[in-house]
Amino acid sequence: MDNRWKNALYSLLLLIAIAVVWTWRQSSDLKMMKIEGETMATTYHITYFDADGRDFKKDVDSLLVLVNQSINNYNPQSEVSLFNKSSRSFQFQLPYLLPPIKVASKVFSDSHGAFDPTVMPLVNLWGFGYKKVNRPDSSKIDSIRSFIGFEKIQFNQDSIWKLDPRSQLDLGGIGQGYGADVITEFLKSKGIKNMLVELGGEGMACGINLQSKKPWELGILDPNSTEQNQSFKAYVALTDRSFTTSGNYFNYREVDGKKYSHTIDPETGFPAMRAILSASVFAEDCTTADAWGTALMVMGHEKAIELVKKHPELDVFLIYSTPDGIATFATDNVSQYLKINP
């Protein structure tokens, strides 16, 4: 090798070394920031790294107020509540109602109706909404089922309207995931690249945990957990991926000694009584993951396993019961960053 090539090689190696050192110093100068609060009847926790140590809590809280004003069914003046009270149509006022409706429409179609945000009247009938009630009779369930179905909801960029005036929307099945997406996009707009956004147990993992120099590690709750004594069945290591786990761990009603899941099957009008115990979904955005988590719980593990084969964009981890005990299923992609406890 002549001197010209040697000098060129040395110069290239020097540039690479300088770039590595600069990148390391930049990451080591970033401050770990943590903010937390309450929203959507739950809590949020956010960890991010920022060279300027900026505190975004006020901004995050303000954003979540706007999101709630759009999608929160428990707020009688929210946009979705006003739509539910209307006989036909409603014009969007804020930019936060249309995006989750678009995702809901797609997942409703792709899941063949297993995810259906028009089940709100059935949710209320079974006592999972505003009022606690006794077990409803079949005739009342059948009556309500006649106006259940997202195909009865139409929308465009400006408005949303009903084909049946009795139809109602409940975006609780994707609300927390959507809230996490809104926060994530806001922090990205501020130049934050490494963050973990968690809202109600679901959220987004972006970049890595610069403190450990590893992907963000999260636990998946063991189905045998109680509210007082919680343990993890598995751990996942995530980078640039959303996460959500749907399950019937603590959210159920007991009527006449029988436990009923809070997940309503739109096809039957009854709570979904399946062997599946939890469905963890990892996707590009948390709104989509949240919707699919509900859909998989409704359809059960057997149908879910067949369906996810047609959706390679989803990474899925299922926990379900068998006559021989607890069993699990994981798609190929998620198996690479999943550790299951025996």
d(CA 15, CA 23): 12
**Domains of the chain from N-terminus onward:** 34-340 (3.10.520.10)
pLDDT of residue 131: 56
271 beta partners: 264
SS3 at position 45:
strand
Secondary structure letter of residue 223 according to DSSP: T
Tokens 């020097």 identify what position? 14
**Cα 287 versus chain centre, distance:** 5
d(CA 78, CA 61): 17
- Cβ-contact 294, 111 below 8 angstroms: no
Task: List CB contacts of 206: < 8 A, sequence separation 6 or more.
Answer: 184, 188, 192, 193, 194, 195, 196, 197, 239, 240
pTM beyond 0.85: the answer is yes
Per-residue pLDDT of the chain (342 residues; tens, 9 = 90+): 554 544 444 444 444 544 444 444 444 579 999 999 999 999 999 999 999 999 999 999 999 999 999 999 999 999 999 999 999 999 999 999 999 999 999 999 999 999 999 998 888 888 776 555 567 778 888 889 999 999 999 999 999 999 999 999 999 999 999 999 999 999 999 999 999 999 999 999 999 999 999 999 999 988 877 777 888 999 999 999 999 999 865 444 444 444 445 688 898 888 888 889 999 999 999 999 999 999 999 999 999 999 999 999 999 999 999 999 889 999 998 988 899 987
pLDDT of residue 10: 47
- State the pairing for strand pair 31-39/325-330: unpaired
d(CA 129, CA 144): 15
- Cβ-contact 317, 292 below 8 angstroms: no
pLDDT of residue 226: 75
SS3 at position 87:
coil
CB count in 10 Å sphere of residue 3: 7
